[in-house]
Structure formats: C-alpha cells, structure tokens
C-alpha cells in the first residue's frame, strides 16, 4: 500500500510516521508514505501557493495550478482524496474500500481550502466530521491510519479488525483488564467466569446497549444477526 500526502506543512505529517505501528509498518515495507511539500510547486521567487478569492471575502485560497501541478507529479494513483469539511463522511466502510487500493493520494488543504476547480481532479472528497480544522493534515492522517491498519500484517491479530466498532454497524463492546476491582468498580463477573458462550452473549448485548445509549441512530441502520435481534428484543422488554 502506497500513500502520497500533499501538504504545505510536511513536518506535521512526518513525526506521526516515526512512532508506533505506522513506523513498524514502514520498516517492514507493508506501507510506503511519501510526503510532498506543496510549497515546492509554488510560483515565482517566493513560491506563492495561494491568492485572494474572487468575489472578495476573508482568507486566502490555494491556487488550482499549484495544487494540480503537485497532484500530477504524484500520479498515477488509484484514488485522489481531497480532505474537506464539505466532503462526504469518512466511515469505516470507506476505509475498507480505500484499503484495497494500491496507491492513495491525500490532498491536505490550508487557509480557506483549495480553489473549487481542484475538486475535478479528485476521485473522492472526504470529511472526518462536521467541524473545521486549521488544515487538512489531521484529516489526512486519520484516513492514513484507518486504512493502513487494515493492510494485512500491520495489526498483529487480524481478528481485531472483525471486532472493531462500526464493522458490524455497532460500537464495540466495553473492554476490561486487571485489576478485577478498582476503586469500587468491578469487572463484570461473566468475564471472569471462563464460559466463552456467555462471554460472547454478554459482549453482543453490551455492544447493543452501548450503541443504543451513545449512537442510537446506528442501531436502525445496522444489519443485526438473529442473536443480536433477540438480545435487542430482550433489552426492550427489560425497559
């Protein structure tokens, strides 16, 4: 899996690649990440990358000729992802789709964003949430992490992918470790019982309970298994 991240601030990206699982994945050759400085494609002696918006308004806009010059240097690519709060939501499903590609280009904007004509050169416009950041680097890193962890070998236990939040449309079940009691808060007895079927049932029930409490809209869209549907009916009767 190969990534090209185009940004005005490469040093916001590079340190992120020097720690934890991303560093190990890079060292093992499971992923490759090239960080491209957009400023290198700027115009004139001062390497200008932005200009004032037509029609007036606050802030500066990244020029299309500069952005596309950097983009074309990175091609060919399977996907060109422009990060923008105006994009479609970045979800686990989208991460799974992108993780199957060979080469992703991630365009991280700054200021008031890219000239709208840059969108014509992107295959996807994605947003990581309904809020505005100072730039697209955090969003680019979110896409990079969410897809890279799905590349075979990056995460040690492949089973963890199948139990992630959102994979089945629900949040993950709550997790516990030692000590069994902490400041009066105990680990649920079922997790200490050694009864694997009961543990599995409890986990599915708690995943449903947590999703209903925190993200109820997900339950309506989730493709529930027969067991989960029965658990949901039992929980409704309990209430």
Catalytic sites, residue numbers? 85, 112, 149, 164
Compute the distance between CA of residue 105 and CA of residue 221 in angstroms, rounded to an integer.
Answer: 31
Are the C-beta atoms of residues 71 and 80 closer than 8 Å to each other? yes
Compute the distance between CA of residue 17 and CA of residue 25 in angstroms, rounded to an integer.
Answer: 9
The neighbouring-strand residues paired with 82 are 107, 125
Tokens read off for 173: 């079940």
Instruction: Count other Cβ atoms within 10 Å, centred on residue 2.
Output: 15
Tokens read off for 226: 């027969």
Residue ranges for the binding site?
A: 109, 128-133
Tokens read off for 157: 């236990």
Residue ranges for the binding site for S-adenosyl-L-methionine?
A: 109, 128-133
- Tokens 């002696």 — which residue? 45
């Amino acid at each position: 899996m190969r990534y090209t991240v185009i940004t005005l601030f490469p040093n916001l990206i590079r340190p992120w690649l020097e720690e934890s699982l991303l560093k190990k994945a890079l060292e093992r050759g499971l992923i490759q990440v090239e960080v491209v400085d957009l400023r290198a494609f700027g115009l004139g002696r001062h390497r200008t990358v932005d200009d004032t918006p037509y029609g007036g308004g606050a802030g500066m806009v990244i020029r299309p000729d500069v952005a596309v010059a950097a983009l074309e240097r990175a091609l060919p690519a399977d996907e060109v992802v422009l990060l923008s709060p105006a994009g479609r939501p970045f979800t686990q499903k989208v991460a799974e789709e992108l993780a199957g590609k060979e080469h992703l280009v991630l365009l991280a904007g700054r200021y008031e964003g890219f000239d709208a004509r840059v969108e014509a050169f992107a295959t996807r416009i994605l947003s990581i949430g309904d809020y505005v950041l100072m730039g697209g680097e955090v969003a680019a890193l979110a896409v990079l992490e969410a897809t890279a962890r799905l590349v075979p070998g990056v995460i040690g236990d492949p089973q963890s992918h199948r139990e992630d939040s959102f994979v089945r449309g629900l949040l993950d079940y709550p997790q516990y470790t030692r000590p069994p009691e902490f400041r009066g808060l105990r680990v649920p007895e079922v997790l200490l019982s050694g009864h694997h079927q009961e543990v599995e049932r409890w986990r599915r029930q708690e995943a449903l309970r947590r999703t209903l409490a925190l993200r109820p809209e997900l339950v309506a869209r989730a493709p529930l298994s027969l067991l989960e549907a029965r658990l949901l009916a039992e929980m409704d009767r309990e209430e």
